[in-house]
Structure 1
Amino acid sequence: MRDIFIFSAVLCILLATLRKPQIGILGWLWLSIMNPHKEAFGWIYSLPVLDMIAGVTFISVLINFKKAEKAMFHPIAIILLIFYFWACMSTIFATSFDLSFPRWIYFSKTMVFILLMLLFLNKKHWIISSIFVFVFAVGLTGAKGGMFTILTGGGYRIWGAPGTAWGDNNGVSLAVLMVTPMIFALKDVLDKKILRLSVYGTSFLSFICILGTQSRGGLVGIIGVSMAFFVRTKHKLVMGVLIFICGLGVLAFMPDSWKSRMETIQTYEQDASASTRIIQWNYAVQLANERPILGHGFYARFHQPLYQKYLTGIDKNRSVHSVYFQILEEQGYVGLFIYLLLMVTAIVSAHKVSKQAKQRDDLKWASSLLYFSQFSIVGFAFNGLTINVAYLDLYYYLLAFIVLLISHVKMELAADHTKTSQQTVLGT
């Protein structure tokens, strides 16, 4: 029954996409994040539904390209383009092209999708629709995981949808942490009280879900976001008291197993999983020092000659478990600089334009989404300290939303300025 329902939804998306490529983009967004067909376990499990929607979307894009509503070019998009170019160069000159190329294909698909978003979703209703899809695709796991954690007393870890890039407990903590601020921002998009209450409830359950993953990276991310909120807010006393109360509540609710696991954040030498990260991070630095400009390319750490040179007899050939060391070894020091510049530019731009949009009642929804999006990036930045998800599509979708929101605000402000100038001229 689940197979038939999902296939029917996909079929409807395909038919609607032929007329409007935006429908295909939203469908692609939903399926690429949530992978609902991977939870059906029937005949649709192996059906390439995402490729089907992508193919029809490309056809519709070619047919309707003249109707594209392009977003205004922004430094975020420029830096992202430069970073992708750098990734292409590191792949061409990769230490192991066979290891690097498949991962480059995955990243290129994400970049193509981002391009389509910026070309076709630059309208208020499409921007809001895409953010709702984004929030729903991850937020459903957050809501279910939060309820499960409450009902079980936090004794079990929360896992995500199978077949996704965020399927394990660490991935869930990261994905839900990124989405939770965006969920909360929807309070200024929805006008009915019951819908706003659902936003608050889902945000709370998502927060509990992050704790329920028992991911140390998730806790680091929560601390980072809390610090960012404290710095940004004008009500520091209230925020400080709220953080303190929440901390006490977490300690009172979560089981001893969770507390013991979180304590290892400060005691690397007492935890094998945590101590091996130090070894792998050192391995990343050694690789980067060999090729500091372009790096070794995607997945180079698994190239056996490099492993035998640096890790034989020290540790197994594991993942790097850090966004920053992952970029460092694969894209070099220059690539890491571009990556960090992209992150900082997105946060600063979102905050700046949010303040501008707040002055207009009709743009307060955009102001709220931009304001909270910066905390989503902060969550990714802190949680990414302990998990290697530098190319996770969710992060780049978030950057695309910020560019679209900024574009919409800038265009509205420019239109209002033009209208005011014309009225001034006519008045004189």
Structure 2
Amino acid sequence: MIDLCLTAFLCLYLALGLKRPFLWVLAYLYVDILAPQVISWGILSHLPTSLIFFTASFAGWLLLDDKSDSRFTFRQFLIVLLLLYCAYSTITADFPVEAAAKWSWVWKALIFAIFLPLTLRTRLRIEAVILVMVLAASAIIIDGAIKTLGGGGGYGALRFFVDNNTGLYEGSIISCVAIAIIPLILWLARHGTVFPSDWRVWTFAVALIFSCALIPIGTQARTGLVCLGILAVLYLRTAKHRFLIMALMAGSVALAVPFLPASYTARMGTIENNQSDKSASTRLAVWKWTLGYVGDHPFGGGFEAYLGNSLRFETVQAQTSGNTTILVTQTQEDGSRAFHSSYFEMLGEQGIPGLLIWLTLQISGLIQMEILRRRWKKRTGPDEQWQAPLAVSLQLAQVIYLFGSLFVGIAFQPFILMLIGVQCGLWSYLGRVEPKLAGRIMQRPPMRPGVAAVTA
């Protein structure tokens, strides 16, 4: 039954797209985020579902959609530059077979991030993309939250729809994304027009935010805890009653800790004492190896360059006997360990030039969203109050991603590249409509003297 429903849903998307080709763009977002072909065990599992909707979204825009308001932005040019550089590094990669496997999905994610802003010509389209992205990710999040409440969590043990450890189905990645979309959930609840703000929308939004907060607990991913803490600090920055909120947050944490599983609190404790955790020690060793590798290979080693690393590091374990505690140092050896950081992933795979392009892409997004926030925050017109909050929400989502990516190799995560595409689309759209809004204000006829006097 699930397989038939998923298949019928996607067939309906294909049919409706013949009249509204932008729906194929939304369908691709849904397919690429949720991966229904992985959940399915029947028809969809045997079809190149992602490729079908990827091709349909491009064909629909080229052949059927209006392109008069499409604009190419500076950040899209940066993505093109990154795409070309990654193509070159793949050709010259240290491990060509493994690099080609990663390139097979990275190029598609980058191409779609370049293409998506060209389709975002209206507010409705921008909102629709954000809505589909949030709801598609929320399907995984709600599933994980329910299982967490039922006691089915654990590091590497929480299973979502399928027993899969790639994309958003990986614990650390979904933990980062779950926290990153919280600002977007709040924006949709306040300013959404597809589902206008009312008690039903807010009830679902609050429940979804609670589910997002449960994901770091269910996956026991330290990345999620860090992201949640950063988001709390960012919201406190602009809160009116910050001391009251801080007290409530501290009280909530104090009440929640006794109910958390011992395995969760033990794992979170390794954030402070990383030397006692082999995983954390390995990451530090990989990062040290990457710095040395880039010193000899400034242009990087291509995708999956980490396969060439050989590590030697020390861990410290506390052994207690009675009232005596002894610290025991053990030497560990390992190899072919992943970067576990987007920054070191870019540095090791794409070298210094690739890292600079990627950082420019990220930092320019933060700057552009801040410009939009300041430009629109004091406007009071009937259709001028959603822009600044959306810019802030996209900025917060990106900040959470940048902190979370310190500990997870998600430099090319498609969901994040989609968010960058939405930022580019918002920047282009507002840059196009703002002069028109200003022109309408300037063209308003002056008030008659008598009316002005009465008003005064």
Is the TM value for this pair above 0.5?
yes
The reply on whether 1:124 has 2:116 as its aligned counterpart is no
* RMSD value, Cα: 2.7
Q: More strand by proportion, 1 or 2?
A: 2
Q: Distance in 2 between matches of 1:120 and 1:316?
A: 44
The 5-angstrom pairing of residues 96-245 of structure 1 reads 96-152=95-151, 157-162=157-162, 164-188=166-190, 189=192, 190-245=196-251
Q: Of the candidates 430, 437, 444, which is equivalent to residue 409 of structure 1? A: 430
How far apart are 1:215 and its partner, in Å? 0.3
The worse-fitting range, judged by mean Cα deviation, of 400-409 and 128-137 is 400-409
> Which protein has the larger Cα radius of gyration, Structure 1 or Structure 2?
2
Change (3 A) 1:8 1:161: same
Count of residue pairs the alignment pairs up: 421
Q: Of the candidates 379, 404, 412, which is equivalent to residue 383 of structure 1? A: 404
Q: Distance in 2 between matches of 1:160 and 1:200?
A: 21
Normalising by structure 2, we get a TM-score of 0.84
Query: In the alignment, residue 194 of structure 1 is paired with which amino acid?
Result: R
Change (3 A) 1:238 1:344: farther
Q: Distance in 2 between matches of 1:77 and 1:352?
A: 18
CA contact (8 A) 1:154 1:254 kept: no
Q: Distance in 2 between matches of 1:158 and 1:69?
A: 47
Tell me which residue corresponds to 1:51: 51
Q: Of the candidates 263, 270, 279, which is equivalent to residue 269 of structure 2? A: 263
Change (3 A) 1:213 1:287: same
Q: Distance in 2 between matches of 1:223 and 1:181?
A: 14
Q: Distance in 2 between matches of 1:332 and 1:238?
A: 46
Q: Distance in 2 between matches of 1:30 and 1:135?
A: 10
Tell me which residue corresponds to 1:17: 17
The 5-angstrom pairing of residues 246-395 of structure 1 reads 246-292=252-298, 294-302=299-307, 306-307=308-309, 314-358=333-377, 359-360=379-380, 361-395=382-416
Change (3 A) 1:349 1:247: farther
Residue segments in structure 2 that go unaligned for 5+ positions in a row: 314-331, 449-456
How far apart are 1:133 and its partner, in Å? 0.6
Residue segments in structure 1 that go unaligned for 5+ positions in a row: none
DSSP-derived class of the 1:363 partner: coil
Query: In the alignment, residue 30 of structure 1 is paired with which amino acid?
Result: Y
Q: Distance in 1 between matches of 2:202 and 2:374?
A: 22
Tell me which residue corresponds to 2:323: none
How far apart are 1:113 and its partner, in Å? 1.6
DSSP-derived class of the 1:122 partner: coil
Change (3 A) 1:288 1:246: farther
How far apart are 1:73 and its partner, in Å? 4.1
Q: Distance in 1 between matches of 2:238 and 2:312?
A: 43
How far apart are 1:426 and its partner, in Å? 12
Q: Distance in 2 between matches of 1:160 and 1:390?
A: 23
DSSP-derived class of the 1:315 partner: strand
Q: Distance in 1 between matches of 2:222 and 2:185?
A: 23
How far apart are 1:264 and its partner, in Å? 0.7
CA contact (8 A) 1:159 1:168 kept: no
Query: In the alignment, residue 24 of structure 2 is paired with which amino acid?
Result: G
Q: Note the alpha carbon deviations across 1:94-114, whole angstroms, 9 max, x for none.
A: 334333233223121112222
How far apart are 1:322 and its partner, in Å? 0.9
How far apart are 1:33 and its partner, in Å? 0.4
Query: In the alignment, residue 250 of structure 2 is paired with which amino acid?
Result: F
Stretches (4+) displaced over 6 A: 310-313, 424-427
Q: Note the alpha carbon deviations across 1:50-100, whole angstroms, 9 max, x for none.
A: 2222233333233225x1254544443333333333323333433343332
Q: Distance in 1 between matches of 2:238 and 2:364?
A: 17
How far apart are 1:135 and its partner, in Å? 0.3
The worse-fitting range, judged by mean Cα deviation, of 43-52 and 230-239 is 230-239
Query: In the alignment, residue 339 of structure 2 is paired with which amino acid?
Result: V
Q: Distance in 2 between matches of 1:106 and 1:274?
A: 28
Q: Distance in 2 between matches of 1:43 and 1:71?
A: 36
How far apart are 1:352 and its partner, in Å? 2.8
Q: Note the alpha carbon deviations across 1:111-136, whole angstroms, 9 max, x for none.
A: 22223311222211111111111001
Give the fraction of aligned pairs with identical amino acids, expressed as a percent. 23
Q: Note the alpha carbon deviations across 1:141-162, whole angstroms, 9 max, x for none.
A: 2223223323339667534444
Change (3 A) 1:392 1:69: farther
